Structure 1
Amino acid sequence: MIPRHSTNESVSYTGQTSKGIKQSQERMNSKWKMLLLTSFALLLMLIKHRSRIKNHLEKIDLCWENEKELRLSDWFNPKKRPDVKTTTDWFAPIIWEGTYNRQVLEKYYKRLNITIGLAVFATGKFVDQYLEKFLQSANKHFMTGYNVIFYILMDDFSKLPPIELGPLRTFKLCTVLKQHVWKDFNYIYMKNLDTYIIEHIQHEVDFLFSMTVNQIFKNDFGVETLGESVAQLHAWWYFRHAENFPYERRPKSAAFIPFGEGDFYYQSAVFGGTPREVLAFIKEYQKGVTSDNRNGLKSIYEHYLNKYLFINKPTKLLSPEYNWDPNFRTPPQIKHVKIAWHSKSI
C-alpha cells in the first residue's frame, strides 16, 4: 500500500515541474520576442540604409546622365557671330565659324567612342574627275581623330583609285544595283543607300553623312556638325530672299511648297544625321518620287529634300561655310570654307 504522503509529494513534485516548464517557456518566448524585435529593428535599419544607398546611386546616375547629355549652351554661342543668323525660328543652331567650342565637343564625343559614316555615290565621269580628290581630302579633314567608315557606292570597282587612309579610317565598297525603270541617278543612289543602311550601316555607325562626290574638303569638318538631323544651307540661295527660293511650285507634286512658305533653301550635296533619320528621309523621298511618277510628274531630288526638311525641321543647320561654291565671290560672312562644291561639273 502506497503511503498517502507519497502521492501528495508526487503530485507536489509534478506540479513544480509544470511550473518550471512554464517559466522556461515564458523565458524562451521572451527571448524569441527580443530576437524578433532585434531582427525587425535590423531589417528596418537595412531598409533605411538601402534606401539611402539607392537615393545616392540615383543621384550619381542623375549626375552621370547630366554629364552625358550635352546642352547646346555648353558649346554653342550664337552671340559670337552677330553678322549672321545663328538660330532658326525653331531654336536649332546654325553652325558658323566662331559659334562653337570644339574642345567641349571633343571631350564629350571622345568619351562616347563614336563612329561616323560618310556615304558617297560615284559613277561614270565623276569617278575619274572627283573620287580620288574627294577621298584624299575627306581622309585629311573629315572627323579627324574619330572612327570613320567611308561607304563608296560604285557600279564599276575597276575604276576605284588607290586609297590610302589614316588611322581609325576604313572604307567599304557597295555595289550600285541599277534598275532600268529608273533613270534618275539620285533615285538609284538613294534606293541603294536605303538597302545598305538597313542591311549593315545602321549597326556600324552612330552618325551618317551622305555627300555628292563633286566636292573637295578644304578645312576641318568636325563634330560640331553632328546631330539627329543635319541640313546644309545652299550657298547660292542663302543671301537671297525666300520668295525667290526655287522650291517645287506645282501643287500636285509631292515636293510642293506654296509661295510664302518655307524656311531656308537646303543644298542636296550634304545631308546627315543618325542612320534612322537618314533612312526616314529616303523612305519619304521614294514615296514622293513614286507618287509623282504615278501622276505623270517629275521633280528633282533637291526639291524632295527641301519639302522633307520643311515638314521635319532639322535639328542642326550648317552655314554656307560648310559647302561653298568657289565660282562665287566669297563674302565677308564666310570665314573658313570647309568644303568646296564644284557646281559646274553637274
Structure 2
Amino acid sequence: MVLLELFLQTADKHYMVGHRVPYNVFTDQLVAVPRVPLWEGRRAVVVVVHGVLLWQDVSMWYIAMISRFREQRILCDVDDLVCVDVDVGMKFWDHVDMEILSLLFGTPHLSFYWAAHEEFIYERWPQSQTPIPRYQGNFYYMGAFFGELVVEFPRLTSACHQAMVINWANGIEAMWPDKSHLNRYLLGHRSNNVLSTEDLWDPRLLGWPPVMEKLRSMAVPKNHQDIWK
C-alpha cells in the first residue's frame, strides 16, 4: 500500500486543488489502507472487494467492479470520474486541474511512445470481442489512467464488462485484458481528450526531457512481483 499512500499524498497536494475530490479506493486489503490526512472537502471511501489469484484477473476485474459500483451512492455525488490503477505506480508532480477532464479521455501507453503503429499490441484474434483491424486505431491506450463524465461512464464499463463476459463464456482471454477492452471501446468512441506525456511521464522509459513545460504526474519505480502477489 506504499504506492497508494504516495498517490494520495501527492494528489492531495497537486490534483484539482480547490475542488471537492472523493477518492474511492477498491481493495481486498482493508487493514493495509494507509491513513492519509486530506484537505477539507476531500475524503477517502474504501470499498472492500474480493481478491483474485492472477494479475490477469485483476486487470479485467477492476472494470467489472467499477461497472458494479457505478450506481452506488459513492459515484452519485460527482460529475467526473477518473480511474487510476494505483498499483501501476504513479505520483503527482505538479498542478493538475480540470484541463484533463472531458466527455472521455485516455492516456497513450508510454511503452509505445516511440513505437510504430504496427508495433502496438492490439488484440488481433477475430474470435475475441476486442479485435482491432490492422491499420486502425490512433494510439495504444493504457488501462491505468482514463476517465469521463459520470453520466457517460456506464457506457464504457457496460461495454467492456459485457465483452469480457462473452470472452469468458467462450474460453477466451484477450491479450493484455484491460488494455484490449479499453482500446477496442476507444476505437468506436473516440477520446475527446488524449493526454500527453506531460500528464504522465516515466523517466525510466523516456529519460528526463530536455525541455518540457511541466510534468504533471510521473510513474514511480515498483516491484512487479510483489504487486502481482
Whether contact under 8 Å (1:267, 1:302) holds in the other structure is yes
**Aligned-CA RMSD value:** 2.2
Which of 187, 206, 210 is the aligned partner of 2:79? 206
Identity of matched residues, %: 28
**Alpha-carbon shift at residue 220 of structure 1 (Å):** 1.3
Cα distance in 1, alignment partners of residues 10 and 159 from structure 2: 31
Cα distance in 2, alignment partners of residues 334 and 270 from structure 1: 21
Cα distance in 2, alignment partners of residues 331 and 137 from structure 1: 21
TM-score, reference length from structure 2: 0.87
For residues 238-289 of structure 1, the C-alpha deviation after alignment (integer angstroms, 9 at most, x for no partner) is 3322121111111111111111111111121101111233322111111111
For residues 62-91 of structure 1, the C-alpha deviation after alignment (integer angstroms, 9 at most, x for no partner) is xxxxxxxxxxxxxxxxxxxxxxxxxxxxxx
Cα distance in 1, alignment partners of residues 129 and 98 from structure 2: 33
**Which residue of structure 2 aligns with residue 338 of structure 1?**
216
Q: SS at the partner of 2:172?
A: coil
1:318 aligns with 2:195: yes
**Alpha-carbon shift at residue 191 of structure 1 (Å):** 2.1
**Which residue of structure 1 aligns with residue 13 of structure 2?**
140
Cα distance in 1, alignment partners of residues 119 and 219 from structure 2: 22
Residue segments in structure 2 that go unaligned for 5+ positions in a row:
225-229
**Which residue of structure 1 aligns with residue 227 of structure 2?**
none
**Which residue of structure 1 aligns with residue 183 of structure 2?**
306
Distance 1:307 1:332, change over 3 A: farther
**Alpha-carbon shift at residue 183 of structure 1 (Å):** 6.7
Cα distance in 1, alignment partners of residues 3 and 51 from structure 2: 21
TM-score, reference length from structure 1: 0.59
**Alpha-carbon shift at residue 326 of structure 1 (Å):** 2.2
Report the residue type matching 1:335 in the other structure. Answer: E
Cα distance in 2, alignment partners of residues 220 and 149 from structure 1: 18
Report the residue type matching 1:309 in the other structure. Answer: L
Cα distance in 1, alignment partners of residues 221 and 137 from structure 2: 24
Cα distance in 2, alignment partners of residues 188 and 301 from structure 1: 9
**Which residue of structure 1 aligns with residue 151 of structure 2?**
276
Higher Cα Rg: structure 1 or 2?
A: 1
**Which residue of structure 2 aligns with residue 252 of structure 1?**
127
**Alpha-carbon shift at residue 200 of structure 1 (Å):** 1.5
Distance 1:343 1:163, change over 3 A: closer
Q: SS at the partner of 1:266?
A: coil
Report the residue type matching 2:217 in the other structure. Answer: I
Which of 185, 188, 193 is the aligned partner of 2:66? 193
Whether contact under 8 Å (1:202, 1:276) holds in the other structure is no
For residues 29-83 of structure 1, the C-alpha deviation after alignment (integer angstroms, 9 at most, x for no partner) is xxxxxxxxxxxxxxxxxxxxxxxxxxxxxxxxxxxxxxxxxxxxxxxxxxxxxxx
Cα distance in 2, alignment partners of residues 343 and 320 from structure 1: 17
Which has the bigger relative contact order, CA under 8 A and spacing at least 6?
A: 2
Q: SS at the partner of 2:143?
A: strand
* Count of residues paired in the alignment: 219
Q: SS at the partner of 1:236?
A: helix
Cα distance in 2, alignment partners of residues 178 and 158 from structure 1: 14
Report the residue type matching 1:316 in the other structure. Answer: N
Greater fraction helix? 1
1:220 aligns with 2:95: yes
Whether contact under 8 Å (2:70, 2:154) holds in the other structure is yes
